[in-house]
Amino acid sequence: MRRHSQNALHHTYKITRDRGVLFYRPSDHLVYYTLQSVLSRRHHLPVLGTSHMYTHVHEGVQPVDLRQLSAYEHDLSSIFSREYNREAGRKGVLFSGRFGSAPKHTDKDKRSSLIYVFNNPVEKKLVGKAVADRWNFLAYYEHEYPFSRKPVIRYCRRRLVDAIHQVEHEFKAGRYLNYALLHRLFGPLDPEEKEQLTDFIIQRYFFFDRKSCEELFGSLGRMVSSTELTTGKEFEVGETFEPFSDIPYREMCQVADQYRLLGPGMALLRLPEVRKARLAQLLRQRTSASDVQVARFLHYTAPTV
């Protein structure tokens, strides 16, 4: 039975049903992120932080009650699943049945929980510092364009300007960015422009409660620096501890991208079993992935851990 108390910070945890990879590409992150943004506002749910990992998502939220939290999580899972299934040509349930959650009552426990959320990419060896990861969004609390050069509209190519204007239009209309739109916006851009548009989208849709974070840590700067001093802890959210690096998932994404399997339509997830088996062999040869990680990457029955 879920617990709740007034003013508690809830650390939530959501994983795919088969424990397989969820986020392969920036577009996967951006659909989910902009959906988080739109739905947190719609449900009036303060969110202090989140982290998108390859197979799961962490969030730190402050709901009025569990009904509000459950409604938000239900909408987030169901709408994203519909978008993801349409994009990948798949059917069925995407996420595990219930999301994990654990209320944090004291300021110390709240800080520790948020530090844990932000430091997930560090724990999984993806980055040396939490602020260096784009998909925990920590760098965006203090900077608009942490991973690219801020675009000067009058000097930008028309296609980037048009993309920025389209994102602005969707944001003001209260709509998240779906796959079809993202493919259309990013398709004609060069690598530098893609980085700029990604930073613009994240900052425009930024929905985290900076004020609550400042009150909890003293300042945003202290929050960021706190992630370098400790990793935080979490024992109650229901996450299965796995002491493995996530670097192999990044390596496999690079290989799949080289073979054009991660473009619009996600050809990777539409491969027949014979081709999946051949690709699995290639991934074992060219990456440091274990058999279990290869299976999770390709979404087939994994060997027992």
Between 236 and 100, residue with greater pLDDT = 100
pLDDT higher than threshold 90 for residue 241? no
Is residue 202, in this structure, part of any structural domain at all? Answer: yes
- In this structure, are 228 and 252 located in the same domain? no
pTM recorded for the entire structure: 0.93
- In this structure, are 125 and 236 located in the same domain? yes
CB of 47 within 8 A of CB of 19?
A: no
- In this structure, are 141 and 227 located in the same domain? yes
Is residue 136, in this structure, part of any structural domain at all? Answer: yes
Among residues 241, 269, 284, the one where a domain terminates is 241
Among residues 209, 224, 241, the one where a domain terminates is 241
- In this structure, are 114 and 139 located in the same domain? yes
- In this structure, are 201 and 272 located in the same domain? no
- In this structure, are 145 and 192 located in the same domain? yes
Q: How many CB atoms lie within 10 A of CB 184?
A: 12
Could you tell me how far CA 125 lies from the centroid of its own chain?
A: 16
pLDDT for the residue 9? 96
* Angle at which helices 210-217 and 107-118 cross, to 10°: 120
- In this structure, are 251 and 102 located in the same domain? no
- In this structure, are 226 and 265 located in the same domain? no
Residue type at position 44: H
pLDDT tens figures, 24-51: 999 999 999 999 999 999 999 999 999 9
pLDDT higher than threshold 50 for residue 304? no
pLDDT higher than threshold 80 for residue 234? no
Is residue 305, in this structure, part of any structural domain at all? Answer: no
pLDDT for the residue 98? 75
pLDDT tens figures, 81-139: 999 999 999 888 899 877 888 899 999 999 999 999 999 999 999 999 999 999 999 99
pLDDT for the residue 235? 53
Take residue 232 and report the two structure tokens written for it.
Answer: 């935080």
Is residue 304, in this structure, part of any structural domain at all? Answer: no
pLDDT tens figures, 183-230: 999 999 999 999 999 999 999 999 999 999 999 999 999 999 999 987
If one counts the domains in the chain, the total is 2
Q: Where is 14: in which H helix or E strand?
A: strand 9-15
pLDDT band at 236 (very low <50, low <70, confident <90, very high): low
- In this structure, are 118 and 55 located in the same domain? yes
Is residue 303, in this structure, part of any structural domain at all? Answer: no
Range of the domain at 78: 1-241
| Euclidean distance between CA atoms 100 and 65, whole angstroms | 15
pLDDT mean across residues, the chain: 92
CATH of the domain at 125: 3.30.70.1290
Give the DSSP per-residue string, the chain.
Answer: -----TTPEEEEEEEBTTS-----SHHHHHHHHHHHHHHHHHTT--EEEEEE-SSEEEEEE--SSHHHHHHHHHHHHHHHHHHHHHHHT--S--B-SS-EEEEE-SHHHHHHHHHHHHTHHHHTTS-SSGGG-STT-GGGGT-S-TTSPPP-GGGS-HHHHHHHHHHHHHHHTT-PPPHHHHHHHHTT--HHHHHHHHHHHHHHT--B-HHHHHHHHSSHHHHHHHHHH-----SSS-PPP----SHHHHHHHHHHHHTT-SSTT-GGGG--HHHHHHHHHHHHHHS---HHHHHHHHTSPPPP-
Is residue 73, in this structure, part of any structural domain at all? Answer: yes
| Euclidean distance between CA atoms 200 and 212, whole angstroms | 23
pLDDT higher than threshold 50 for residue 303? no
- In this structure, are 263 and 135 located in the same domain? no
- In this structure, are 186 and 283 located in the same domain? no
pLDDT band at 302 (very low <50, low <70, confident <90, very high): very low
pLDDT band at 300 (very low <50, low <70, confident <90, very high): confident
